[in-house]
Structure 1
Amino acid sequence: MHRPENSLLRQLPPEARQQLLDHCEPFELVLSAELSTRGKPLSHAHFPIEGFLSLVIDVDSHPPLEVGMVGAEAMLGSELILGLAATPWRAVVQGAGSSWRIGAQELRAQIDAIPALEALLQACLLTRLHQQTLAAACQRYHLIAPRLARWLLMSQDRSRSESFHVTQEFIALMLGVRRVGVTEAASHFQDSGLIAYHRGELTVLNRKALEAAACSCYVAETEIYNRLMKVKK
């Protein structure tokens, strides 16, 4: 059986990867746990193996809004390459799983010691910048249903499963819309046989149809990742 691993770490040369892992520790990603706090120093970087995180921003008294998602394709903490001591968002575990965790200071030391790691983190940070810019435009111009389809596809990609646990209230918060809008769109997808939803458990039944229903940002984001991370197709 194929053992799950982090895609970023897999891109490192074997010796460099082992050198970095020697300074990491396994860490359990507990659902709803916060791994970083907005405006405070990031104590650790994480390379998810299974499970995924939502990068959430709080503005004034408004509900939190998701501005990014991190799974086994990326990492939490690539901004440490810039020497930043604080993060602009909260990192919340959206899908339970596990990660490799490394202290912020130790990661900086390894960046200096491993040239391939520095180049990889630069690409990861640039990728996230492009993706978040795209997400801002998506939120402004695309309708709820296509955005919901995109979000479900992104969540399924990172959960590595046809099913994952999520509530409509949570989706509404992440998309920055009213719950009634999510309910209507999700009901349409369910009636059309694209998804099944029962007591917080969502299953993707027809992925191709869900991809067709998603806004263009899903494909665009994937292309950004493949191009900047130099992923071979």
Structure 2
Amino acid sequence: MPRPPHSTVRNRLLRAMAPEDFARLQPHLDPLSLQLREVVIAPDAPVEELFFLESGMVSISTAHDERRVEVGLVGSEGLVGAVPVALDCLTTPQVYFVQLSGEGWSIGRGALCAALDESPALRRLLLRYVHTLIVQITQTAYAHASLSLESRLARWLLMCHDRTEGDELVLTHEFLSMMLGVQRAGVTLAIQNLEGAGRIRAKRRRIEVLDRAKLLALTNGSYGTPEGEYARLIEGA
């Protein structure tokens, strides 16, 4: 199957690569479809494949017993599996699973590592991306520790909105409760409050973003720092 030309890829990290670095990866990129709830990296299992998303979203979550709490989110801006591979770890205790189905490109760990060994510029770009993801995770920790449920929900909705086309998000109350680490009843109340304030419109299994500025006003600085770092270090490089 033909590999994607650099000019047509939608993954922002691939697009940010120098042409010669993209050419190193291009022969090893295989198309894939991501299915809702699919586990793409299991905890404590060898990370053998990584995924450049073109659409959809993958959650990075802690997993204790049957409970999951989301700590990070990867969409078309990033690479699923970047942290353990860039830091030369064979496994990760976290679970990566599909929150929103989509498409992308897979690449084997060996092929990516060989390209990183050949190109210091490519390694620097990947480590910069890892930095932005770590910043995102630290902001999540701040939000969980310091903000109200409505503020945390507003932040996640903005992050999901960044990674989808259009204003309608396919997000169930079950997923939102996992993302926020709370019971579904709390999510339902927070959604009702955001809807009553004209920030969103709730539908069955969908949420429509009506006013980003009103959502942003609730986030108390927890949204924007990782996004700014990405723009500065990846797209501004």
State TM-score, norm by structure 1: 0.92
| Distance (whole Å) between structure 1 residues aligned to residue 196 and residue 143 of structure 2 | 25
The more displaced of 143-152 and 119-128 is: 119-128
- Deviation for aligned residue 1:3: 5.6
Contact 1:9/1:17 (CA < 8 Å) preserved in 2?
Answer: yes
Matched ranges for 1:86-165 at <5 A: 86-165=91-170
| Distance (whole Å) between structure 2 residues aligned to residue 160 and residue 218 of structure 1 | 19
| Distance (whole Å) between structure 2 residues aligned to residue 137 and residue 192 of structure 1 | 25
AA in 2 matched with 1:135: T
Task: State the SS of the aligned residue for 2:101.
Answer: strand
- Deviation for aligned residue 1:39: 0.8
The alignment status of 1:63 with 2:67, answered yes or no, reads yes
The more displaced of 67-76 and 81-90 is: 81-90
| Distance (whole Å) between structure 1 residues aligned to residue 99 and residue 109 of structure 2 | 22
State TM-score, norm by structure 2: 0.90
The more displaced of 218-227 and 7-16 is: 218-227
Identity of matched residues, %: 33
CA spacing shift, 1:4–1:152, aligned 2, 3 Å = farther
Q: Which runs of 4+ in 1 moved over 4 A?
A: none
Matched ranges for 1:187-206 at <5 A: 187-206=192-211
Partner deviation per Cα, 1:47-81 (whole Å, 9 max, x = no partner) = 1111111001112x362000100011111122312
Unaligned runs of 5+ in 2: 1-6
Q: Which residue of 2 aligns with 1:171?
A: 176
- Deviation for aligned residue 1:4: 5.9
Contact 2:177/2:184 (CA < 8 Å) preserved in 1?
Answer: yes
AA in 1 matched with 2:87: L
Task: State the SS of the aligned residue for 1:57.
Answer: strand
Q: How many residues align?
A: 230
Matched ranges for 1:40-79 at <5 A: 40-59=45-64, 61=65, 63-78=67-82, 79=84
- Deviation for aligned residue 1:114: 2.6
Q: Which residue of 1 aligns with 2:214?
A: 209
